[in-house]
Amino acid sequence: MHRSDWRSVLAVAAPAALEHLESLPDRRVHPAAGYAEIRAALDHAMTDIGLDPAQVVSDLVRDIGPYVTAHASGRFFGFVIGGLHPAAWGAELLVSTWDQNAGLFPPTPGVAVAEELAGEWLVDLLQLPAECSVGFVTGGQMANFTCLAAARDKVLRDAGWDVEADGLTGAPAVTILLKEGVHSTVPRALRFLGFGERAAVRLACDDQDRLRPDALERALSSISGPTIVVIEAGNVNTGSFDDFDAVADLADAHRAAGSPTWVHVDSAVMLLAAASPAMARHTRGLSRLDSWSTDGHKLLNVAYDCGVALCREPAAHRAAMSVQASYLEQGTGARDAMDWNPEFSRRARGVAVYATLRALGRSGVADLVDRTVRLAQRFAEALSASGLAEIVNEVVANQVLVRWLAPDGDTARVADAVMAGIRAEGTAFFSGTTYRGERLMRISVSDWATDTDDVDRVVAALLRHAELARG
Ligand SMILES: Cc1ncc(COP(=O)(O)O)c(C=O)c1O
């Protein structure tokens, strides 16, 4: 590899990247090809002597480029997938270029301070307790894991048990209360933490998948001892927010009665709502809880992958995550990411958060949240006005649940046909869900680039496919 090889690689990669980004407003959203075609395009024989890097990158453009889904097109509404903010994109190019192993401050001081500041800005912006500690992880899954590991440390430590040293065998029992409809990454985190999924008690929700505070009250009144409760800001189906003040009051009372108690909020979808004055009625009481997980790669629109774990109790967070090794350089007084993350070596994924927050500013973040909610409501209004669909949820956030009506009553068939039709056409991408036993189409507006033209164009296409599916 010669010095000049960087230039020859960039000479291929940079125009290809720009071409991709500039094609987003118009390109088809999902590639038309199937597995066999993609496999055939990519399945080159390994060579003995390797290839010129610029050639390899040029082949990537040719072989993978056509099969990339346009997540950042403004017309991708599946799952909960954010777009790509230009500041995040630029930051990620540099993070890849700098190639920092960002576990410790001493070897990577620049990115370490950027991540420290990004965490402080988030805490301030989201009006969380100033003492909060922050870990930049790979996504909502690992943010839930990290926060629940801190919860496990704290409730057991308060019960006289050091779970990091002694594990769970022989530990005081921990009661785990999860709302029904909690995201599957939460029970998965319980598996990782040695609690097991079946350890959790499920609490009833209302018809918007909001926890019923009376169900929590009843559950807490019948137990004592270490207790972890998991609730949500932004349910993956309905977008709903739990009643944080009510949960905080109940948790405070349980704690005051002698039970170590921790409330974690899975806010992968909607923690950013705390930055929006227009959303204040939904986020009231959020800051009274103990930990919050969220995603940079969802609403904040940083590149994949980036999640954030925030904890009110830095000591518990650190006890759960920190690791020492004789050959490292630790204890310099500066923030070492390794103390707040489950990873050892790691990408400096918080740098994109730092850059995006700088680019958006406070009002830019609020506007991003408000716009996605407004556009979700625009979808809901247009679809329900068409007479071809009903909206199943109260559209309080960026998520819409759509029931496509069917003359023969087979709404699931129409939902699947509409989603498949529009995906095959390339106009947009939607994904489905089973909500309360019913197959529905979901809409998740999570891309800063989506505008009213995108929504109107996609609504027209959806209605066309619905008419076709109805026959
Ligand atoms: C509520 C909720 N929690 C957690 C997750 C998992 O996040 P990630 O895919 O970033 O791990 C999601 C993903 O959509 C989610 O909607």
Q: Once rounded to an integer, what is the mean pLDDT over residues 126-139?
A: 98
221-231 per-position pLDDT tens digit: 999 999 999 99
Residue 130 class from Cβ within 10 Å (0-12 exposed, 13-18 middle, 19+ buried)?
Answer: exposed
Pocket test for ligand 1, best of 231, 267, 295 (most atoms within 8 A of CB): 295
Q: For residue 3, what pLDDT is reported? A: 56
Does residue 36 surpass a pLDDT of 80? yes
% residues pLDDT > 70 (the chain) = 99
Nearest-atom number in ligand 1 for the CA of 144 is 4
Q: How confident is the model at residue 471 (pLDDT cuts 50, 70, 90)?
A: confident
Helix/strand/coil (H/E/C) assignment for every residue in the chain: CCCHHHHHHHHHHHHHHHHHHHHCCCCCCCCCCCHHHHHHHHCCCCCCCCCCHHHHHHHHHHHCHHHCCCHHHCCECCCCCCCCCHHHHHHHHHHHHHCCCCCCCCCCHHHHHHHHHHHHHHHHHCCCCCCCEEEEECCHHHHHHHHHHHHHHHHHHHCCCCHHHHCCCCCCCCEEEEECCCCCHHHHHHHHCCCCHHHEEEECECCCCCECHHHHHHHHHCCCCCEEEEEEECCCCCCCECCHHHHHHHHHHHHHCCCCEEEEEECCCCHHHHHCHHHHHHHCCHHHCCEEEEECCCCCCCCCCCEEEEECCHHHHHHHHCCCCCCCCCCCCCCCHHHCCCCCCCCCCHHHHHHHHHHHHHHHHHHHHHHHHHHHHHHHHHHHHCCCEEECCCCCCCEEEEEECCCCCCHHHHHHHHHHHHHHHCCCECEEEEECCEEEEEEECCCCCCCHHHHHHHHHHHHHHHHHHHC
Cβ of 141 less than 6 Å from ligand 1: yes
What are the beta bridge partners of residue 230? Answer: 178, 264
328-347 per-position pLDDT tens digit: 999 999 999 999 999 999 99
397-430 per-position pLDDT tens digit: 999 999 999 999 999 999 999 999 999 999 999 9
Q: How confident is the model at residue 444 (pLDDT cuts 50, 70, 90)?
A: very high
Cβ of 296 less than 6 Å from ligand 1: no
188-203 per-position pLDDT tens digit: 999 999 999 999 999 9
Q: How confident is the model at residue 2 (pLDDT cuts 50, 70, 90)?
A: low
Average pLDDT score over the chain: 97
Q: How confident is the model at residue 4 (pLDDT cuts 50, 70, 90)?
A: low
Cβ atoms 29, 429 nearer than 8 A: yes
Indicate which residue's Cα is closest to atom 4 of ligand 1.
140
356-377 per-position pLDDT tens digit: 999 999 999 999 999 999 999 9
66-121 per-position pLDDT tens digit: 999 999 999 999 999 999 999 999 999 999 999 999 999 999 999 999 999 999 99
Q: Once rounded to an integer, what is the mean pLDDT over residues 199-214?
A: 97
Cβ of 140 less than 6 Å from ligand 1: yes
Q: For residue 229, what pLDDT is reported? A: 98
238-292 per-position pLDDT tens digit: 999 999 999 999 999 999 999 999 999 999 999 999 999 999 999 999 999 999 9
Cα of 352 vs centre of ligand 1, distance in Å, is 19
pTM for this one?
0.98
Nearest-atom number in ligand 1 for the CA of 141 is 11
Nearest-atom number in ligand 1 for the CA of 298 is 10
